[in-house]
Amino acid sequence: MISCLRGAGVEVVERHEPVWEEKRDAWRAGPLTALRLARAELRLLRRPSERYDAVIVGYPGHFDLPAARRAARGAPVLFNPLVSLADTLVSDRARFRAGSLPARALALVDRRALRAADVVVADTEQHARFLAELANLERVEVCFVGAEEQIFQPGPASSFTHALFVGKLIPLHGLETILEAARLAPELPFRIVGSGQLDELLEQRPENVEWVPWVEYVQLAGELHAAGAALGIFGRSEKAARVIPNKAFQALACGTPLVTADTPAARELLVNGDSALLVSPDDASALANALRQLASDDALRARIAEGGLSAYRRHASEEVLGRRWLSILERAR
């Protein structure tokens, strides 16, 4: 987002206090996270007073809206939450039981944060409808996530070496579906990069699945260039149907053929058989068949790669998203 804005000619002043740095497995965060957040908030408030045309609070800034309001000094405050905390921690990751006190508290935090902003910006139309209903908002703006183009650029055409998944191992991504597809297609190599909540599933992974718990972020483009196909998400949850994950945009920007679940959100950007191969959510057989198609058909793989890159450039490049963000800021003022 910052790169997009700067590319559109906007002067962006970053005000950042570290909370998650040096925590590779941030998903394991415990009670001390709240204390780190509180300390970071106090440090932000001690900064000298400055004047801005607008203040943008990004992910995961649900607790930062009060400080942003004070820092804005009357300028519009935009909130780009990326996720609902309750939806993520209750419905998706099942860290708390639905209806429990923590679940109700998270829903309250969501609503208050969304209502505290002058403008809320979601990553898909589907997600915008969800957030608007959650907080009873009249309108939520939409801007795709995109990819950092200083890292994610097209590479040379690659043969089908393996299917690559990159990401935190959370229920949203459908890791079980990926592993079952690997069992159904033992002739195809799979490479899984990442760790998280579902690490245990990989302890009994098929022999054709390689697991690499961590790769430095700047190396991800190289991972995508070396792969014959990139895997998106395959979960069946309501949240999975509303989002297009970072990994999808990164694959498209690199010109790597993308296979992901056929969801309403994916259809906002992708066309099956043209810019990606879209398969039914939670359908390991369909995923295995799609990967077999890409592995055996060089022309199809090249067409999907070219179509995906074209869709990215038309709808989600930094230049396109920079113009979109600029129009949102102008309306907010």
Each residue's pLDDT tens digit in the chain (333 positions)? 999 999 999 999 988 777 666 555 554 555 555 556 656 666 655 555 678 999 999 988 898 898 889 889 899 999 999 988 888 888 777 778 888 988 899 999 999 999 999 999 999 999 999 999 999 999 999 999 999 999 999 998 778 999 999 998 888 889 999 999 999 999 999 999 999 888 899 998 999 999 999 999 999 999 999 999 999 999 988 889 999 999 999 999 999 999 999 999 999 999 999 999 999 999 999 999 999 999 999 999 999 999 999 999 999 999 999 999 999 999 998
Alpha carbons within 13 A on the beta-carbon side of 58: 8
DSSP state of 173: G
Residues in the chain: 333
- Looking at the chain, the domain(s) classified CATH 3.40.50.2000 span 2-146+317-332, 163-315
Other CB atoms closer than 10 Å to residue 31's CB: what's the count? 6
Beta strands in the chain (DSSP E): 55-57, 77-79, 119-122, 141-142, 163-166, 190-193, 209-212, 229-231, 258-261, 277-279
CB contact at 8 A, 167 and 230: no
Query: What is the structure's pLDDT at 27?
Result: 46
Sign of CA dihedral 192, 171, 313, 271: positive
In CATH terms, 2-146+317-332 corresponds, of 1.10.3720.10, 3.40.50.1360, 3.40.50.2000, 3.30.70.260, to 3.40.50.2000
For β-strands 119-122 and 141-142, DSSP reports them as parallel
Return the closest-CA partner of residue 195 out of 178, 212, 183: 212
Query: What is the structure's pLDDT at 115?
Result: 96
Q: How far is CA 272 from the centre of its chain?
A: 20
Structural tokens at position 295? 């592995």
Query: What is the structure's pLDDT at 15?
Result: 82
Three-state SS for 1? Answer: coil
Query: What is the structure's pLDDT at 21?
Result: 63
Residue 131 buriedness (CB in 10 A; 0-12 / 13-18 / 19+): buried
Query: What is the structure's pLDDT at 34?
Result: 55
Class of domain 163-315: alpha beta
How far is the C-alpha of 78 from the C-alpha of 93, rounded, in Å? 27
Return the closest-CA partner of residue 3 out of 149, 144, 142, 218: 149
Three-state SS for 194? Answer: coil
CB contact at 8 A, 220 and 246: no
Query: What is the structure's pLDDT at 22?
Result: 58
Residue 151 buriedness (CB in 10 A; 0-12 / 13-18 / 19+): middle
pTM of the model as a whole: 0.90
